[in-house]
Structure 1
Amino acid sequence: MNSNASPPFTGPDLCAREAHEIVALLRKRDIAPRDLVGASRARTDAVEPQINAMPTTCWDWAEAAIAALEGGDRAAPGWLGGLPIGIKDLTPVAGVRTTFGTKGLRDFFPATSDPLVDRLETRGALVVGKTNTPEMGAGANTFNDVFGPTLNPWNTRLNAGGSSGGAAAGLATGEVWLSHGSDHGGSLRTPAAYCGIVGLRPTPGRAGGASPNAGYLIESAQGPMARSVTDCALFLDTMAGFEPRFPISYPAPDAPFQEAVRRASGRLRIGYAPDLGGFSPVDAEMATHLNDAMAQLERSGANVEEACPDVTGLERTYHILRGISWVTAARTMDPAVRRHFKPTLEENTRFGEGLTIQDVADAQVGRTAIFNAMLAFFDRFDVLALPVVGCMPHPQSEEWVREIDGQTLTGYMDWLRFAFLATTAGLPAISVPVGLGPRGMPVGLQLVGKPRGEADLLAAARFVEMVMGGPLGPIDPVAG
C-alpha cells in the first residue's frame, strides 16, 4: 500500500474534529452553534478560491436558525444540535439560491424547502450553503455554466467527481462536518472515492425521495456524506424516518445506525468482484491498490473470496431506467430551462423520449432478475466489494473518461459502470477510503449491502476504515 502522508490541515481546530465528536460537545454545551458557524465560515472563506465547492453560502440563514434549536430532542440519535452542513444545489432550501447548475435557474429562490431539508433542520442541522453540482446532476465531473468547476482538493488540476463533487470537496477541506448528496450513477460514490471521504447511497426511501414531481421513481437516492463512517452513520440517523410527503418513505429502524458502527468486527464474508465479471475495465494501478487492500482485510480477519453475481443485462437495464428518469423530469420542465442544457444532458433526455413500452417492460424484468441474483449472492457473502470507479481521477478539463486499461469508451457514462448495480437493484452501497494510492491520491472501495441493510453495511465499512488506517481527515487544498 502507498504510505504517503496526507497533506497538512491549517484550518480551525474545530473543523478538524469529526462530526460525532462535535455533536457530543454540543450535547454537553461545551461549545455553541455560533462557534461552529464562525469556524465553518472562516474555513470556507479560506479554501473556496482554490476548490469552488460551496459557491452559494447563507451564513445569515444559519445564524437566524440558531434561535430555534433549543426545542430539539438532545437524546435523539440523529440530533445535530447546531452543526453546520451543506446541501447539494439540486435540493431546494427556502429563500436560498438554488440553481440546479443550469443557467435557466441561476436566479431561482424557492419558496419552500425539500422535505428532507425540513427534517434536517428540525433535528438541529444549520444549512450554511449549497454545494456545487454539474448541470441537473448529470455527469461525474462537477462543473456548470453558473459557477464553473469544482476542483479536487488533493490535486486541484484533477476531477473531484460528481455529481456531489462540491459536497465531497468541501468535506475533504473541512468547510463543513457533514454534507448532503444524491446518487443515481455513482453521484455520491465517485466524488467520495476521489476526495477521500465516505459517501453512502441508501436503499430508496430510507433518506427521503428523489423528486417532488416523480415521487415513485426509486433510481435516484439522497444520502449522507462525511469524513468518517461513524459520521456517515450519524447523518443517516438524522435523515432516516417516515416522511408522508415521500410516497416511498418508510420508518427508521429501532436501533440507531451509530450502534451498528460501534459493533463493527472483522467477521465478514466479502465477495470481491474486481471487474464485476468483465463488466467494466480497470486501470492496472487501481486494480493493484484494491487487490492489496483486499489482502490486508483478509490478514485482519475477513474472509475474502473473488466472486461475482450474475449481472446479465445490467448495462441496458440501467440505461433504460436512467432514460425513464430524464424523460419524466422533462415532463414538468420549463422549455426555457431545458434550452440551456449541455449536449450530454440533452442526449440523456432524448434517449428517454425514444424509449418504448417494451423497453420499459424489459427493464423491469431485467432489474428483478439482477435483484434475485444479488439475493443468491448474499446467501454466501455479507457484502459485495468492487471498485467505485475503474481509474484514478483524470484532469478536470476532461468532461468524462474516454479510455481505461487500453479500452476506448464511447459513452459518457461508460467509465461509471461499477455504479450501475446498486442503483438497478435498489441496494445500499457505500464508498469508503482504503488509503492513499498512486501519486498520493485517495482510493475508494465500494461495498454493496443487502436490501435495507444499511446497518450491516456501515459496520462493514467501519471495519474497512479501521484496517486501512482511516479516516483520512481534512486537508489543505494541494495545487496541481
Structure 2
Amino acid sequence: LGDYNGYLPMEPGVMSLCESALQDFAALGCKVEACQPDFSMERLWQTWLVHRHWLVQGSLGGLYADAQKREHLKPEARWEVEGGLRLTAADVYQASVSRSEWYRALNELFDRYDFLLLPTAQVFPFDAQTPWPRVVGGHAMDTYHRWMEVVIGPTLAGLPSMSVPVGFNPAGLPMGLQIMGRAQADLAVLQLAYAHEQLTQWVKRCPPGCLQNA
C-alpha cells in the first residue's frame, strides 16, 4: 500500500527503506504487487477523527467539565474533548457507516491478496523532547496526531496487524512495515512475521555506528 499513492507525507528515507524490504517477502515466496483500496483516504481520516473525538470526550469529558481539573489537561486532550462536544448523533452514525465501507474496501483487496503491507510510521524516531512532528516531508501537520495517520487503516478495520523491523536509515534510526491480514487471520499474520524475522534477523542487528556488547 506504500503511502497510499502519495497521500501520506513521509519523511525522506522511509519509503525507500520499506520498499527495499519487499524483496525479503519475495524471498519468502510471496508475490509482491502494488495495490490500492477503492476508498478516499481523506474520508478515512475524518472517520477516524470522529471516532477519536467521541471516545476521548467520553473518557475525559468529566474532567473537562470541571474548570479546575480542565487546566491540568494538555491542549491536545482539551482539543479532542471539544471536538467530541461538537459532534451530533448523525456524525457518529455516518462515521460508523464509513468505517464499515472501509472494511469492505479492504475485503475487496483480500479477494486477491493474502496480506497487505504498509510502513509502520511516517517519520523516523524523533527527539523525546519534541511533543510531536509539526512538519513531515515538507507538509505541515494540522493535528497533533496527523503524523501517525499511517496506522489508522488496520485499526479502523479491526483487522490483525503486526509490525516487523526492516532496517535503519544512515543515522541509525529504525523503521518497520505493518503486515495486515484478513479478518480472523491472526495466526497467518504471526506466521509471516515469524518467517520474516527468521530470514532477516533484524532483531539481532545493531544500528549503524552502534557497538554490540559481547
Alignment identity in percent?
Answer: 28
Counting only pairs closer than 5 Å after superposition, residues 412-427 of structure 1 correspond to structure 2 as: 412-427=144-159
Match of 1:320 in 2: 50
Matched, 1:289 2:17: yes
Give ranges in structure 2 of 5+ residues lacking alignment.
none
Give ranges in structure 1 of 5+ residues lacking alignment.
1-272
CA 1:332/1:343 → structure 2, altered by over 3 Å: closer, same or farther?
A: closer
Give aligned pairs, total.
Answer: 204
TM-score by length of 1: 0.40
| Residue identity matched to 2:49 | H
CA contact (8 A) 2:24 2:196 kept: no
What's the offset of the Cα at 1:355? 0.7
Matched, 1:388 2:120: yes
Match of 1:137 in 2: none
Match of 1:455 in 2: 187
Task: Considering Cα pairs closer than 8 Å and 6+ residues apart, tell me whether 1 or 2 has the greater RCO.
Answer: 2
CA 1:458/1:337 → structure 2, altered by over 3 Å: closer, same or farther?
A: farther
Instruction: Measure the CA separation in 2 of the matches of 1:394 and 1:305.
Output: 31
Match of 1:79 in 2: none
Instruction: Measure the CA separation in 2 of the matches of 1:278 and 1:473.
Output: 31
Instruction: Measure the CA separation in 2 of the matches of 1:441 and 1:430.
Output: 19
1:143-164 Cα distance to aligned partner (Å, 9 max, x none) = xxxxxxxxxxxxxxxxxxxxxx
CA contact (8 A) 1:434 1:465 kept: no
Instruction: Measure the CA separation in 1 of the matches of 2:89 and 2:127.
Output: 40
Instruction: Measure the CA separation in 2 of the matches of 1:344 and 1:418.
Output: 19
Matched, 1:366 2:98: yes
Q: Which has the larger radius of gyration?
A: 1
Counting only pairs closer than 5 Å after superposition, residues 160-179 of structure 1 correspond to structure 2 as: none
CA contact (8 A) 2:121 2:175 kept: no
| Residue identity matched to 2:5 | G
Structure 1 runs of 4+ aligned residues shifted over 4 Å read 331-334
TM-score by length of 2: 0.87
Instruction: For residue 439 of structure 1, give the secondary structure of its aligned residue in structure 2.
Output: coil
Instruction: Measure the CA separation in 2 of the matches of 1:315 and 1:340.
Output: 28
Q: By percentage of residues, which structure has more helix?
A: 2
Instruction: Measure the CA separation in 1 of the matches of 2:98 and 2:11.
Output: 29
Instruction: Measure the CA separation in 1 of the matches of 2:186 and 2:70.
Output: 36
CA 1:348/1:285 → structure 2, altered by over 3 Å: closer, same or farther?
A: same
Instruction: Measure the CA separation in 2 of the matches of 1:338 and 1:346.
Output: 8
Instruction: For residue 201 of structure 2, give the secondary structure of its aligned residue in structure 1.
Output: coil
What's the offset of the Cα at 1:278? 3.0
Match of 1:243 in 2: none
Instruction: Measure the CA separation in 1 of the matches of 2:117 and 2:12.
Output: 17
Instruction: Measure the CA separation in 2 of the matches of 1:432 and 1:391.
Output: 16
Instruction: For residue 384 of structure 1, give the secondary structure of its aligned residue in structure 2.
Output: strand
Match of 2:26 in 1: 298
CA contact (8 A) 2:61 2:81 kept: no
Instruction: Measure the CA separation in 2 of the matches of 1:315 and 1:438.
Output: 31
The root-mean-square deviation of aligned C-alpha atoms, in Å, is: 2.1
Match of 1:127 in 2: none
